[in-house]
């Protein structure tokens, strides 16, 4: 009987949770300064006092999960005069009337995600002088009117990722001179109109990845972080102001521009043969040219500040001049180059080298005495996939341990538990795969907060390298940055147990930070936690009551007059 009561309670709770997903009734959960409204529509927004606590008109943050109407009208947010943040996740929203947010002039942030918003009309966001953050993500946007952002004179972050935008009007940013971060990734752009960025004095971050751009010719653009990966570019101009360029997975064959301040240049999976233009960019500290048909006699000695160099799948032929003068090198990737021997004299200038990757070549033997003579600081030597059998691999690993070397970045080769697995996988035949399957599917993982100022501050406060140079003076109000490449950081290019070496997977900084603010999954998780917490407490109380009652029933049923009974005093 007792178990049936518990089962009944569980059934009711689960039924409520399951049926809630398909219910059309509005649900409102509020905090003194914020509210979450589920299954909202125009009636809920126009008369919130009927569905939510009385103080909802005074809240600052409003999160709407599943907006079930198709239009946001000019009166939709009229009752919420104190709003500073509006977030609309999922729903049927297909049109925003011009001036829909005009009665909430204090808005600082707007996020509209996963709706069916197909177009932005002129003056959609008029009256929002205080707006700093605007995210329109995964909304099937196809067109944006020239004056859609009119009046957003203080806008600093604009994210239009995950839409179907094919073209942009030339004057789109004419009313937003304060923009510092623009993301148009994962759209269908084939070209950008000339002069589209002329009204923006300085951009900290510009993300145009995952489009179909064939050209990008903006020599006067002042930007610090530039992301152009996964397009169809055939040439690239590197200006004086840019510090980090990620342009892998294109068709780039020619580079131009001085690249005076650039520190990180990521160009893997392109069509580069001649590196002469790259050698003029003297301040590069990280260079990725993997999967490019480089000339076999390419020389990198003029990049004296280089620290990390990725040359996987380039068929480069190493001689005494290839790496001359590279005294700051800490990581070198030479995997998949059909190398048959290692002459460590060719690396003599790199006396600070920490990691050398020669995996998936055809190297027969390694002279460890010569290695220690020319590379005294080396700690990692990756040798997987050179065609060695398990016995020879174990012998080489034993020698490496004597010379204080690891065979992988993670230290699995020296682990008592995983060393045998490492030997088994690394002694397999040479892998024939030529490219890694990289997936940048989470294009909308942006920072839902006030992160751009923090990013700029972190970049500016990063410790400069000994050779850091002072860039050309910027206009008043611009934020100076150092040469240290804090963003677009590549993952360690180590061989991960018979997998391809990837030196080109770079995640934009905003995607590396946790999402700040409310999200549908977080709200749903909280509701479930609270529900089952209350249910668990009730069940424990009922269980404790029945156990106590049963104990007293047993005492009353036990006779104290029998000879074998024990009387408790």
Please state the rounded mean pLDDT for residues 19-46.
79
| Token code pair at residue 386 | 């050179």
Q: Answer yes or no: is pLDDT of 473 > 70.
A: no
Answer whether residue 423 is part of any domain: no
Q: Answer yes or no: is pLDDT of 57 > 80.
A: no
Q: Which residues pair with 265 in a beta bridge?
A: 245, 287
Please state, in angstroms and as integers, the Cα–Cα distance from residue 430 to each residue in 384, 389, 494, following that order. 9, 11, 16
Query: What is the structure's pLDDT at 525?
Result: 64
The domain that holds 206 is classified in CATH as 3.80.10.10
Structural contact between residues 69 and 93, judged by C-beta atoms closer than 8 angstroms: yes
| Token code pair at residue 158 | 């604009």
Please state the rounded mean pLDDT for residues 355-367.
94
Please state, in angstroms and as integers, the Cα–Cα distance from residue 387 to each residue in 276, 340, 355, 364, following that order. 35, 11, 21, 8
What is the per-residue burial (b if ≥16 Cβ within 10 Å, else e) of 462-494? eeebeebeebeeeeeeeeebbbbbbbbebebbb
Question: Which has the minimum average pLDDT: 8-22, 184-198, 302-316, 344-358?
Answer: 8-22
Q: Do 92 and 203 sit in the same domain of this protein?
A: yes
What is the C-alpha to C-alpha distance for residues 214 and 217, in angstroms, rounded to an integer? 10
Query: What is the structure's pLDDT at 24?
Result: 62
Answer whether residue 265 is part of any domain: no
Query: What is the structure's pLDDT at 275?
Result: 95
Answer whether residue 169 is part of any domain: yes
pLDDT digits (tens, 9 = 90+) for 402-449: 999 999 988 888 888 888 888 888 886 545 343 443 433 333 344 445
Q: Do 194 and 298 sit in the same domain of this protein?
A: no
Please state, in angstroms and as integers, the Cα–Cα distance from residue 377 to each residue in 80, 209, 476, following that order. 63, 38, 44
Q: Do 181 and 58 sit in the same domain of this protein?
A: yes
Q: Do 81 and 171 sit in the same domain of this protein?
A: yes
Query: What is the structure's pLDDT at 18?
Result: 43
Q: Do 71 and 178 sit in the same domain of this protein?
A: yes
**Cβ neighbours of residue 121 under 8 Å, at least 6 residues apart?**
95, 96, 97, 98, 145, 148
Examine the fold and report which residue of 155, 185, 212 is the final residue of a domain before the chain moves on.
212
Answer whether residue 110 is part of any domain: yes
Structural contact between residues 438 and 510, judged by C-beta atoms closer than 8 angstroms: no
Q: Answer yes or no: is pLDDT of 290 > 80.
A: yes
- Which residue has tokens 């677009």? 488
Structural contact between residues 353 and 330, judged by C-beta atoms closer than 8 angstroms: yes
Query: What is the structure's pLDDT at 334?
Result: 96
Q: Do 197 and 307 sit in the same domain of this protein?
A: no
pLDDT digits (tens, 9 = 90+) for 489-548: 444 444 444 433 333 434 343 333 333 344 555 566 667 777 878 888 888 888 888 887
| Token code pair at residue 137 | 């993500």
Examine the fold and report which residue of 364, 391, 418 is the final residue of a domain before the chain moves on.
391
Please state the rounded mean pLDDT for residues 226-237.
96
**Count of Cβ atoms closer than 10 Å to residue 364 Cβ:** 12
Q: Answer yes or no: is pLDDT of 132 > 60.
A: yes
Answer whether residue 33 is part of any domain: yes
The dihedrals phi and psi of 424, each to the nearest 5 degrees, come to: -60, -45
Q: Do 37 and 134 sit in the same domain of this protein?
A: yes
Query: What is the structure's pLDDT at 121?
Result: 94
Answer whether residue 80 is part of any domain: yes
- Reported as a pLDDT band with limits 50, 70 and 90, residue 462 is low
- Reported as a pLDDT band with limits 50, 70 and 90, residue 209 is very high
Q: Answer yes or no: is pLDDT of 65 > 90.
A: yes
Q: How much is the pTM?
A: 0.76
Q: Do 30 and 174 sit in the same domain of this protein?
A: yes
Supply the range of the domain harboring residue 324. 294-391
Q: What is the mean pLDDT of the chain?
A: 81
The count of domains in the chain is 2
Answer whether residue 136 is part of any domain: yes
Examine the fold and report which residue of 197, 212, 227 is the final residue of a domain before the chain moves on.
212
The secondary structure of the chain in percent helix, strand, coil, rounded to multiples of 5, reads: 20, 15, 65
Q: Do 201 and 312 sit in the same domain of this protein?
A: no
**Cβ neighbours of residue 53 under 8 Å, at least 6 residues apart?**
28, 30
Answer whether residue 353 is part of any domain: yes
Q: Do 182 and 325 sit in the same domain of this protein?
A: no
Please state the rounded mean pLDDT for residues 88-117.
94
């Amino acid at each position: 009987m007792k178990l049936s009561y518990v089962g009944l309670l569980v059934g009711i709770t689960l039924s409520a949770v399951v049926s809630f997903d398909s219910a059309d009734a509005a649900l409102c959960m509020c905090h003194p300064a914020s509210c979450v409204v589920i299954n909202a529509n125009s009636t809920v927004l126009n008369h919130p006092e009927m569905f939510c606590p009385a103080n909802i008109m005074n809240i600052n943050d409003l999160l709407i999960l599943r907006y079930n109407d198709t239009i946001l009208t000019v009166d939709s947010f009229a009752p919420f005069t104190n709003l500073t943040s509006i977030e609309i996740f999922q729903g049927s929203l297909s049109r925003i009337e011009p001036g829909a947010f005009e009665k909430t002039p204090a808005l600082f942030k707007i996020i509209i995600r996963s709706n069916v918003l197909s177009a932005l009309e002129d003056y959609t966001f008029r009256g929002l002088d205080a707006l700093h953050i605007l995210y329109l993500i995964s909304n099937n946007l196809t067109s944006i009117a020239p004056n859609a952002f009119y009046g957003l004179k203080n806008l600093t972050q604009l994210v239009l990722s995950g839409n179907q935008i094919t073209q942009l009007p030339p004057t789109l940013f004419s009313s937003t001179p304060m923009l510092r971060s623009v993301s148009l990734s994962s759209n269908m752009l084939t070209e950008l109109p000339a002069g589209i960025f002329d009204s923006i004095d300085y951009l900290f971050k510009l993300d145009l990845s995952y489009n179909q751009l064939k050209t990008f010719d903006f020599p006067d653009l002042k930007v610090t972080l530039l992301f152009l990966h996964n397009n169809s570019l055939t040439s690239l101009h590197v200006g004086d102001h840019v510090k980090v360029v990620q342009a892998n997975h294109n068709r780039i064959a020619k580079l131009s521009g001085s690249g005076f301040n650039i520190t990180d240049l990521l160009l893997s999976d392109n069509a580069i043969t001649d590196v002469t233009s790259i050698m003029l960019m003297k301040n590069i500290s990280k260079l990725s040219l993997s999967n490019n048909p480089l000339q076999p006699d390419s020389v990198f000695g003029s990049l004296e500040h280089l620290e990390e160099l990725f040359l996987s799948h380039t068929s480069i032929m190493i001689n005494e001049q290839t790496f001359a003068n590279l005294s700051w090198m800490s990581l070198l990737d030479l995997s998949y180059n059909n190398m048959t021997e290692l002459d460590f004299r060719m690396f003599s200038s790199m006396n600070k080298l920490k990691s050398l990757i020669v995996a998936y070549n055809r190297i027969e033997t390694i002279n460890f005495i010569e290695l220690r003579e020319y590379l005294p600081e080396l700690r990692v030597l990756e040798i997987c996939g050179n065609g060695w059998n398990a016995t020879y691999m174990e012998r080489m690993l034993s020698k490496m341990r004597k010379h204080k070397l690891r065979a992988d970045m993670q230290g699995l080769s020296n682990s008592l538990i995983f060393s045998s697995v490492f030997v088994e996988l690394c002694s397999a035949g040479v892998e024939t795969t030529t490219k890694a399957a990289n997936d940048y599917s989470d294009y909308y993982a942006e920072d839902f907060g006030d992160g751009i100022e923090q990013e700029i501050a972190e970049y500016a406060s990063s410790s400069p390298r000994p050779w850091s140079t002072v860039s050309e003076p910027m206009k008043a109000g611009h934020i100076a940055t150092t040469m240290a490449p804090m963003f677009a950081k590549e993952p360690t290019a180590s061989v991960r147990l018979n997998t391809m070496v990837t030196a080109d997977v770079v995640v934009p900084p905003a995607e590396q930070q946790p999402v700040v603010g409310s999200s549908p999954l977080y709200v749903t998780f909280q509701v479930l936690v609270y529900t089952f917490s209350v249910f668990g407490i009730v069940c424990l109380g009922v269980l404790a009551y029945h156990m106590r009652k049963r104990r007293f029933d047993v005492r009353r049923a036990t006779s104290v007059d029998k000879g074998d009974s024990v009387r408790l005093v």
